[in-house]
Amino acid sequence: MKTIVTTAYRPTVAIIAEAGRIADELDIQLIVRNKRSIEKMHADEQLDILVASKERLEFYPVGKAEPFFFHPNSAAFRTKRPLERDPLIEVSGLEKGDSFLDCTLGMASDAITVSQYVGSEGKVVGCESNPNIAYIISNGLQRYTTMPHLTEAMNRIEVLAMDSIAHLKTLDNNSFDVIYMDPMFTEEIKESSNFTSVRSSADMGQLTEEWVREAKRAAKKAVVLKAHFRSQDFEKFGFTRRVRPNTKFHYGAIKFS
């Protein structure tokens, strides 16, 4: 589905200029809002819509009335706890200054948590194959100021709007200390509602032999998988599963050192 960009309902000159800049950067059409509702614009244009406003960027896939927008999500509370006890950091064996590739960036909450932990000497890169989601997350990581303790960690994250397997193939052996994959769960977790509005637009690709093989080649310390607790991918692809009682998802790792 193609995408257009428009403005908030009552745009300022600055917002109109911002919408124009976004249209140029993404090479998409800018459509004048004319005080239309999102529902009316969907009916008129039959296209996904990016909305530029003073506070944030919002993405409305066709047929969705609720927007997708950037928020630190679970990183907001995870980074207020001892980070060395975070299950992702524990299972991955990450250390300060390490490099981390998130193959499935999504809302970037895992990447933010890791960036906070590895610090300014570390490196965090995230792949997001949907260009609209990637743009909103990249923009949000730079603009979000509500949680000052996360500003530097968010600013350090590099977002790549591309398929993670394609990116992995460009990497040399041992390019990242830890490579992480969190494919979209085939069983939707009702409590995890932040991604609901774009679930149909997100990459639903599941784990493959090629994906794991390329990740293992490009990782120095570990490849880490997050999956639904019913998933058989841990055993199928050789990950040592870390069982987390009373949770809907588990982590697993393939360690090299």
CATH number for the domain that contains residue 79: 3.40.50.150
User: What pLDDT does 1 receive?
Assistant: 73
CA Rg value for the chain: 19
Strand pairing partners for 176? 219
Both 99 and 12 in one domain: the answer is no
User: What DSSP element (H or E) covers 41?
Assistant: helix 38-45
| Residues paired with 249 in a beta bridge | 228
- Position 246 scores a pLDDT of 87
CA gap 249, 151 in Å, rounded:
28
- Domains: count for the chain: 2
Long-range CB pairs of 92-97 (<8 Å, 24+ gap) are 92/178, 92/180, 92/221, 92/222, 92/224, 92/253, 93/178, 93/221, 93/222, 93/253, 93/255, 94/118, 94/177, 94/178, 94/221, 95/177, 96/121, 96/122, 97/121, 97/122
Say whether 179 sits in a helix, a strand or coil.
strand
Same structural domain, 199 and 243: yes
96 and 187 fall within a common domain: yes
> Cα(103)–Cα(168) distance, rounded to whole angstroms?
9
Q: Is residue 68 part of a domain?
A: no
Quick check: is 118 in a domain?
yes
* Residue 85 and residue 49 share a domain: no
State whether 55 and 98 are in the same domain: no
Whether residues 123 and 248 share a domain: the answer is: yes
The one-digit pLDDT tens for each residue of the chain (257 residues) are 799 999 999 999 999 999 999 999 999 999 999 999 999 999 999 999 999 998 899 999 999 989 999 999 999 999 999 999 999 999 999 999 999 999 999 999 999 999 999 999 999 999 999 999 999 999 999 999 999 999 999 999 999 999 999 999 999 999 999 999 999 744 444 444 455 555 555 445 689 999 999 999 999 999 999 999 999 999 999 999 998 888 999 999 999 96
CB 237 within 8 A of CB 205: no
The domain of 25 spans: 3-60
pLDDT at position 194 is: 55
